[in-house]
Amino acid sequence: MTIRAITFDFWDTLFYLSERKEAEKRRRMRVLGIARAMKRNGHNVDIRKIVEAYIKTGLYANDVRERWLEEVPPSDQVKKLFEYLRIKTNKRLLDEAEYSYTSAHLFIPPRIMEGANEVIPLLSSKYTLGLISNTGVTPGSMLRVSLREEKLIEHFRHLTFSDEVGKLKPSPFIFLHTLGRLGVKAEETVHIGDDLKSDIKGAKGVGMKGILFRRDLKDEEREEVDAVIPSLKDLPYVLKDL
């Protein structure tokens, strides 16, 4: 069947996942921002305790993701952090802390993947495009900023983020939700991503095709994908053979 639509992953597909130094800078910004929000609202807490609560919150959220394939949105992550700190909150404190928690992405933005600015406009003239991304600490609202700043957002018919739909890849729900919003059938759609389990197995589990964006691949893994590309620039040529 002819391919009518393409869905993309965000991290390490359209934008590079943060290097360790960048990730650490964002972590510090979140912790310090939360500390300042707490101080403005009358709570003076040792920064080490905030760091400890931040780590516990991340472990809690990851456990929920692994067990249930459910996303814990940043607003709930912040509430959990304050539970660990045993701090009584109000709306103002929660709102200020959540902004600090999520806005580090704006101050240390990710780099766009090589070829994305060329390939996405080209493909959008021939196919219906969608995006399916797990979010974690950085919500879809912030990832939209990156897409908008790179002038990519207008090329996508629909954007699906795990914090907004509650489920994350490889859950069938997040793929089927996107197909419904795009108005296409699974067999007419190919998903592009860098993770064999979340992206490829998730997409193929609902009947989509899967192209793995990765340079290193074991022979046995090649049998699970419809194609492999080392660069986004290869995608238009690979699509012709599907």
What pLDDT, on the 0 to 100 scale, is given for residue 20? 85
Contact 178, 188 (CB under 8 A): no
What pLDDT, on the 0 to 100 scale, is given for residue 1? 74
What pLDDT, on the 0 to 100 scale, is given for residue 220? 66
What pLDDT, on the 0 to 100 scale, is given for residue 197? 95
Q: Spell out, as residue ranges, where the chain has pLDDT lower than 50.
A: none
What pLDDT, on the 0 to 100 scale, is given for residue 19? 81
- Return d(Cα 19, Cα 240) in angstroms, integer: 34
What pLDDT, on the 0 to 100 scale, is given for residue 223? 75
Residue type, 196: L
pLDDT tens sequence across 77-104: 999 999 999 999 999 999 999 999 999 9
- Return d(Cα 33, Cα 100) in angstroms, integer: 5
3-state secondary structure of 105: helix
- Return d(Cα 14, Cα 182) in angstroms, integer: 19
Q: What ranges in the chain are assigned the alpha helix state H?
A: 20-40, 47-68, 74-85, 91-102, 104-107, 116-124, 140-149, 162-165, 172-182, 202-204, 219-222, 235-239
What pLDDT, on the 0 to 100 scale, is given for residue 179? 98
Q: Could you report how far apart the first and last alpha carbons of the chain are, in Å?
A: 9
Q: Which domains does the chain have, with CATH numbers?
A: 5-17+112-239 (3.40.50.1000), 20-107 (1.10.150)
